[in-house]
Amino acid sequence: LKIFRQSTRNLAAAKASGIKYTWAPFLLYNNAYMLACIVIVPIVRCLPKSWTEPWFDMTLVDWEWARRYEPFKRFGSDTFMVVTPERNVIFTADADVISQLTTRRNDFPKPLELYESLRLYGNNVVTSEGQLWRHHRKITSPPFSEKNNHLVFAETLAQCQDMVDSWMDGEEESSKTIHTIADDAMRLSLHVISRGGFGVPLKWPTKTKATENGHVKGEEGNTSSASVSKGHTMSYADALGSLLHSLFPLIIVPKFLLRNLPFQWAKTTYTSYDEWGDYMKEILQAKKSAVLTGTEGDNLDLMIAMIKGAGNTAESASKGEASRQTLSDDEILGNAFIFILAGHETTADSIHFCLALLAINIAAQRHLQSDLDEIFQGRPPSQWDYDQDVPKLFGSMAGAVMNEELRLIPPVIGIPKSTAKGSPQTLIIDGKKCTVPENTLITLNTTATHRNPNQWPTGPPSDPGHPTHPLSNRDNDLEEFKPSRWLLDPNSKASTTNIPNQDNNINTEASTLGVNTSADTSSSLYRPPKGAYIPFSEGYRSCLGRRFAQVEILTVLALIFSQYSVELAVDAYASDEEVEKMSEREKREVWEKAKREVERQMREDMGTVITLQLRKGSIGLRFVRRGRERFDW
């Protein structure tokens, strides 16, 4: 009866809202429903399609990735509501609506109940709202400075060179097929955030240990962080690797249970959680005393900056002033964890897919290499310079590749917002004043927004006989990886371009909170309309690590493609010797087969736990010294 009453109320609210709506018997974000899907989905699939057609797709996990823009087109609206017995949910792919939702942060807060799992080490900037969020954001945003980006650049260069050397056995190999790119990208970005975030250097292992689910299980070859410190049972690196590997049980099983369950996995999970927390507390205390004694040097990592931002200074300590730390140690720890979590998978995914997509689009890869040659003029990476070179990367084909990859495969496929209980809100949709009912969930559907033909310039599909996606955007090119869509002048040289600039109209509140009000892309590249391109979200709650991630991705692209070309591995279809003897036509055939398989993997084998990733198998890519390419057209 209660469910019936709630359903009737929800339906009445949807009718009165003026927003297009449909109905579904389940709420996707309900944990019990997600677990029950194992039973429900096969049953529903047996029912006649006409009964389930309008709603079933949208109650499946990751439907945003599976269906992309198609449901919005079918519905004839870029914003629609799904009425469920529990809560109503609005999905939007409309730039205008997204702009309103992200600008009016008090009217459309984050639904914090969906962020519970990210509070593993305490409250933090991602999992808070209102005054508490302002408080966290004020202290966590200044550390993401240009100074820190210099460190990110230097560390990425070092780590990426080590990664490539480990693949190619130093200088010995001229080409090699690598099947561990997803795992290695994950390791790389973990090392970069560990150094850039906490000043803990991690050394690329000489011999890679096994990895699981993309998370590094161990860090053989590390110096400082590989050894088990006094009072610990795991090394820093092992604790971190194991912690990230065990996130799922950590999120769903209560800590006291994990601690006491008589299973080895539970013990390892709890130990890694406990050990990494202890390491971080020790690092925090050591850094704090360095700051208080003025001996931190010119250390640029995020934690030092957070400690200082929280009010710890050598002057106050020397005057014997009592510490008036504005962010507690637990809160600093909570934020440190969220930097690792928010920062490493997202960036690693983007690096992984940039490489795969460039292997598919050979012309874009050659354009990228030519831009890199123009920027670096043959200088070795040891002579690359952040201030001189990175702004040019932003405005070149490297920036276009990064933007296009994040358009096609945004790591966060749904950004949640809501209206609070008792607080309905007006929203202008297609010029019409609508009312979002109270207690409504709202999802900014990034995958559909980035593919919305009403707000992106489109061209015809390159191969109408083989659409990139079976349902979405079959009549245009928005499903295709085409970095050239970002180039304002495809023939321009990459030497006179700028870093994404700051907006002069930035308001003071946004400025104190480190809110990025400038465009996400360089001024010399195409600028999508506001709200149409949201890989880093937009407005007050947009990503703090945007520039950190962009610098890392661009640096990896620059380092790899200035030395190597990346090709699709065709091992499944022909041996190296066979490829050697093939005519151009035969080579194309075998390459086309490999391309279709990689496209299939990137369409069907993807899923979200925290971010959108390849969940099955791996994409094999061949790294070939430049000039030795086998597939070049």
Site residues, ligand HEM (CB under 6 A): 125-126, 137, 193, 338-339, 342-343, 346-347, 350, 411-412, 415, 535-537, 541, 543-545, 548-549
Closest distance to ligand HEM from the beta carbon of 410 (Å) = 6
Paired sense of beta strands 621-625 and 564-568, if any? antiparallel
| Binding residue positions | 543
Nearer to ligand HEM, 280 or 568 (CB): 280
Annotated binding site for heme: 543
Q: To 10 degrees, what angle do helices 329-360 and 181-198 make?
A: 140
CA 121 to each of CA 137, 273, 329, 413: distance values in angstroms, whole numbers, following the listed order: 17, 9, 11, 25
CB of 446 to ligand HEM, least distance (A): 7
Identify which of residues 343 and 620 has a Cβ nearer to ligand HEM in the complex. 343
- What letter does residue 298 receive in the DSSP assignment? T
Strands lying side by side in the sheet with 564-568: 175-178, 621-625, 564-568
Considering the complex, state which of residue 126 and residue 356 has its C-beta at the smaller distance from ligand HEM: 126
> Between 539 and 620, whose beta carbon lies closer to ligand HEM?
539
What is the number of H-type helices and E-type strands within the chain?
Answer: 24, 14
Nearer to ligand HEM by C-beta: 531 or 620?
Answer: 531
Dist. CA 450–CA 472, nearest whole Å: 12
∠ CA 496-502-506, rounded to 5° = 160
Cβ closer to ligand HEM: 274 or 520? 520
Q: At what angle do helices 329-360 and 584-604 cross, to 10 degrees?
A: 150
CA-to-CA separations, 391 to 86, 383, 394, 484, 619, in angstroms, rounded: 49, 16, 5, 19, 31
| Largest CA-CA distance found in the chain, in angstroms, rounded | 79
C-beta pairs of 279-285 under 8 Å, 24+ apart in sequence: 279/229, 279/232, 279/236, 279/239, 280/121, 280/198, 280/333, 280/336, 280/337, 281/329, 281/333, 282/229, 283/198, 283/199, 283/200, 284/329, 284/332, 284/333, 284/336
For the bound state, the minimum distance from the C-beta of residue 445 to ligand HEM, rounded and expressed in Å, comes to 12
Report, in Å, the least distance between residue 339 CB and ligand HEM: 4
Q: CB of 236: closest distance to ligand HEM in angstroms?
A: 18
Q: How many CA atoms lie within 13 A of 277 on its CB side?
A: 14
Question: 215: helix, coil or strand?
Answer: strand
Minimum distance from CB of 135 to ligand HEM (Å)? Answer: 11
State the nearest-atom distance from the C-beta of 541 to ligand HEM, in Å: 4
Q: Closest CB to ligand HEM among 59 and 537?
A: 537
Please give, one letter per residue, the 3-state secondary structure of 480-507: CCCHHHHECCCCCCCCCCCCCCCCCCCC
Nearest distance in Å: CB 109, ligand HEM: 11
Phi, psi of 378 (to 5 degrees): 80, 0
Give least dist CB 189 to ligand HEM, A.
Answer: 8
Q: Which residue has the tokens 């009165």?
A: 16
Closest to ligand HEM by CB, 317 or 420: 420
Q: Measuring CA to CA, how many Å separate 325 from each of 312, 321, 568, 606?
A: 6, 11, 53, 43
Residue of minimal CB distance from ligand HEM?
Answer: 545
CB of 553 to ligand HEM, least distance (A): 7
Nearer to ligand HEM by C-beta: 89 or 362? 89
What's the N-to-C CA distance of the chain in angstroms?
Answer: 65
How many angstroms separate the CA atoms of 174 and 451, rounded? 38
Task: Give whichever of 125 and 358 is closer to ligand HEM, judged by the CB atom.
Answer: 125
Distances (CA, A) of 603 to 301, 417, 420, 606: 37, 26, 35, 7
